[in-house]
């Protein structure tokens, strides 16, 4: 697709500049260093195949950050692309949707000379993960755009309320490190009043009659910490032991800083479990408030458990 086609009037959509972030690599260890599909991206060559740990990215405005990664995909015979090698365009239709209105989201990725980037690695069973979060951190969605070929991804979504939403797209161009790109979307209507984000006094939540408790080993910033979720039946108090794999793992965790500039997508330390606990390792990059969303599946239904904590 050439440049003129991208700006065709038939779409009447907005192109949004997006910031690229080459992922910061977390150093927390988790399980066997080989054969895992969902571990974090560690920096030692011994952990090339270990993808369970997740990643972190700093997303301030549209700035480009580039942190070297020697091992992410293992395609050492291919030339790695950096953020500077890639051009991305977002399109929304409608450009400024109403609350609840279905919005078509398109992402187009090209190299420096305008050629579509056509090959991507599967990451946690998908070619792209798209996280959508309202500016008050109350609305959260995790969806998966479909790859249409020639560098184009597409998905439809609805936004619950007026105001700004921030979108985080994770993907891996074949032969390159994992990348996160961001975009802002404004939903029309009067902006709703929102109070300040406050940390939870009680780290137990009830979702779909399931009691979920979160234990955090350390609240110190820039220090490896374990997140341990324990699930039980709200009424009987019996442990939940029939969790199903969600995207090939017992669960997933997404974490955002209060100002939405720090983004962490964390994966479990051990997938060979079905409850009642699910353990993750991560680092809070700096002191401050963080919103944590735990994502699990049971009985064919995915449920999300939110917590707000403060790193010291």
CATH code assigned at 135 = 2.60.40.1930
Query: The dihedral of CA 210, 215, 220, 225: what is its sign?
Result: negative
Backbone angles phi, psi at 85, to 5 degrees: -85, -5
Summarised one tens digit per residue, pLDDT across range 36-46 is 333 332 222 22
Q: Residue 142's CB: how many other CB atoms inside 10 A?
A: 19
pLDDT the model gives residue 231: 97
Backbone angles phi, psi at 216, to 5 degrees: -115, 125
69 pLDDT above the threshold of 80: no
Indicate if 222 and 165 belong to the same structural domain. no
Please state, in angstroms and as integers, the Cα–Cα distance from residue 293 to each residue in 31, 49, 104, 133, 137, following that order: 22, 26, 25, 11, 10
Q: Which residues form the domain of 218?
A: 204-311
Is there a domain that residue 16 lies in? yes
SS3 85: helix
Indicate if 233 and 130 belong to the same structural domain. no
Indicate if 38 and 113 belong to the same structural domain. yes
Indicate if 181 and 239 belong to the same structural domain. no
Is there a domain that residue 76 lies in? yes
210 pLDDT above the threshold of 90: yes
pTM, 2 dp: 0.76
Indicate if 132 and 236 belong to the same structural domain. no
Which of 59-73, 130-144, 160-174, 190-204 comes out lowest in average pLDDT? 59-73
Written as six digits, the tokens of 14 are 């907005």
Q: Which residues of 237-265 are buried (b: 16+ CB within 10 A; e: fewer)?
A: eeebeebeebbebbbbbbbbbbebbbbbb
Query: What's the domain count of the chain?
Result: 2
Is there a domain that residue 154 lies in? yes
- How many CA atoms does the CB half-sphere of 21 hold within 13 Å? 23
Is there a domain that residue 167 lies in? yes
Higher pLDDT, 73 or 309: 309
């Amino acid at each position: 697709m050439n440049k003129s086609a991208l700006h065709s009037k038939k779409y009447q959509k907005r192109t949004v500049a997006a910031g690229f972030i080459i992922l910061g690599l977390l150093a927390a260890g988790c399980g066997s260093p080989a054969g895992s599909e969902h571990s974090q991206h560690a920096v030692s060559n011994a952990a090339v195949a270990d993808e369970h740990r997740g990643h972190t990215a700093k997303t301030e405005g549209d700035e480009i950050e580039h942190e070297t990664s020697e091992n992410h995909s293992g395609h050492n015979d291919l030339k790695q692309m950096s953020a500077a090698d890639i051009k991305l365009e977002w399109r929304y239709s409608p450009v400024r949707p109403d609350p609840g209105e279905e919005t078509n989201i398109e992402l187009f990725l090209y190299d420096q000379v305008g050629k579509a980037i056509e090959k991507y690695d599967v990451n946690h069973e998908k070619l792209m993960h798209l996280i959508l979060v309202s500016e008050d951190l109350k609305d959260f969605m995790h969806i998966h755009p479909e790859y249409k070929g020639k560098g184009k991804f597409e998905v439809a979504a609805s936004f619950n309320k007026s105001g700004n939403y921030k979108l985080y797209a994770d993907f891996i161009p074949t032969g390159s490190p994992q990348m996160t790109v961001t975009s802002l979307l404004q939903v029309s209507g009067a902006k709703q009043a929102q109070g300040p984000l406050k940390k939870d006094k009680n780290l137990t939540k009830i979702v779909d009659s399931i009691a979920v408790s979160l234990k955090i080993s350390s609240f110190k910033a820039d220090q490896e910490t374990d997140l341990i979720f324990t699930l039980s039946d709200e009424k009987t108090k019996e442990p939940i032991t029939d969790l199903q794999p969600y995207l090939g793992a017992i669960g997933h965790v997404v974490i955002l800083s209060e100002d939405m500039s720090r983004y962490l997508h964390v994966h479990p330390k051990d997938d060979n479990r079905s409850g009642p606990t699910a353990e993750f390792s991560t680092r809070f990059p700096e002191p401050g408030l963080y919103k944590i969303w735990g994502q699990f599946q049971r009985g064919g239904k995915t449920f999300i458990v939110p917590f707000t904590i403060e790193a010291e």
